[in-house]
Amino acid sequence: VAAWQPAFAAKLADGHLNAAPHRLINLRILSETAGRTVRVGWDRPEPATCLRIELRLQPPPSSGPAVTSASCSATLADLPIGRSTNRLSARILGPDGRFSPSASLVIGLGQPNIAPPSGLTAWSRDGVVHVAWQPPQSAADSEIADYIVAYRPAATVEDDDDNNEQRLLTVAGLECQLPPGLPAKRRFLVRVAARTAAGFVGAFTDWLPFDTGHRNA
């Protein structure tokens, strides 16, 4: 027993073994056809805290599964929904068999017609990249909850929504700074979309190329 207790205590100090995984971050609706299908996305969880991702539709659709599993490397899923389905919840199953708290979205409303933001600009100052934009002209201020900012190196092959090189930020205002560490004198691409309070992501702007160290408009 004396030899077993220190090993048990060491496991208690390990957060991966004893703490539930963190909630799935940035769960959002990418597109939806009311009563038919919904495409949802999220930020990739830390591999050390994730065994799989569970997506649950409520009420369950009459055709199609109520619960869908996704791998920890996935960042989106297409789900069939029924006309009565109005909520999606998602949670992470950790390696120790514990689930994270659920993240949830209201669904079943159909995709709103949210135009892309306007006036997208990007510039570098003192080694920090700034991005700014204006609200979509077709949306009332009350509809917009925040914005999704996507950026990636320009050297990747295609302007693909599912590109693994793409990084995402959630921004409440009309300007942000990209995370530090982007290499100097390199070309990147950035684009922005508005997100509603219900979780719908509107149309993205076109990719804007910018070189670290130069202003682009």
Which residue from 122, 141, 140 is spatially nearest to 130, judged by alpha carbons?
Answer: 122
Given a cut of 70, whether residue 3 has pLDDT beyond it is no
Which pLDDT band holds residue 110 (cuts at 50, 70, 90)? low
Inter-residue contact 94 to 18 (CB < 8 Å): no
Question: Is the separation of the CB atoms in 196 and 202 below 8 Å?
Answer: yes
Q: How far apart are CA 93 and CA 178, in angstroms?
A: 30
* Bridge partners for 108 per DSSP: none
What is the 3 state secondary structure string of 113-170? CCCCCEEEEEEEECCEEEEEEECCCCCCHHHEEEEEEEEEECCCCCCCCCCCCCEEEE
> Is residue 112 within 8 Å of 90, Cβ to Cβ?
no
- Give all domains of the chain, ordered by start, each with its CATH number: 4-106 (2.60.40.10), 118-211 (2.60.40.10)
Of 29-33, 75-79, 139-143, 209-213, the poorest mean pLDDT is in 139-143
Is residue 1 pLDDT above 80, yes or no?
no
Percent pLDDT > 90 in the chain is: 32
Q: Rounded mean pLDDT of 57-72? A: 88
Instruction: Provide the 8-state DSSP code for 194.
Output: E
Q: d(Cα 214, Cα 187) in Å, to the nearest integer?
A: 10
- Is residue 106's pLDDT more than 50? yes
Is the pLDDT assigned to residue 189 strictly greater than 60?
Answer: yes
- Contacting residues for 200 by C-beta, under 8 A, at least 6 apart: 28, 29, 32, 109, 111, 112, 114
Query: Per-residue pLDDT averaged across 42-61, rounded?
Result: 91
- pLDDT value at position 22? 85
Instruction: Decide if 24 contacts 54 (C-beta within 8 A).
Output: no
φ, ψ of residue 125 to 5 degrees: the values are: -145, 125
What's the average model confidence in pLDDT over 43-51? Answer: 91
Q: For the residues 87-116, what does the mean pLDDT come to? A: 86
The Cα–Cα gap between 209 and 153 comes to 9
- What six digits make up the tokens of 33? 């056809």
Per-residue pLDDT at 115: 85
Residue 5 has pLDDT above 70, yes or no: no
The pLDDT, as a whole number, for residue 60 is: 85
CA distance 86 to 109: 8
**The dihedral sign for the CA sequence 182, 188, 193, 194:** positive
pLDDT tens figures, 120-157: 999 888 888 999 999 987 665 557 888 989 898 886 54
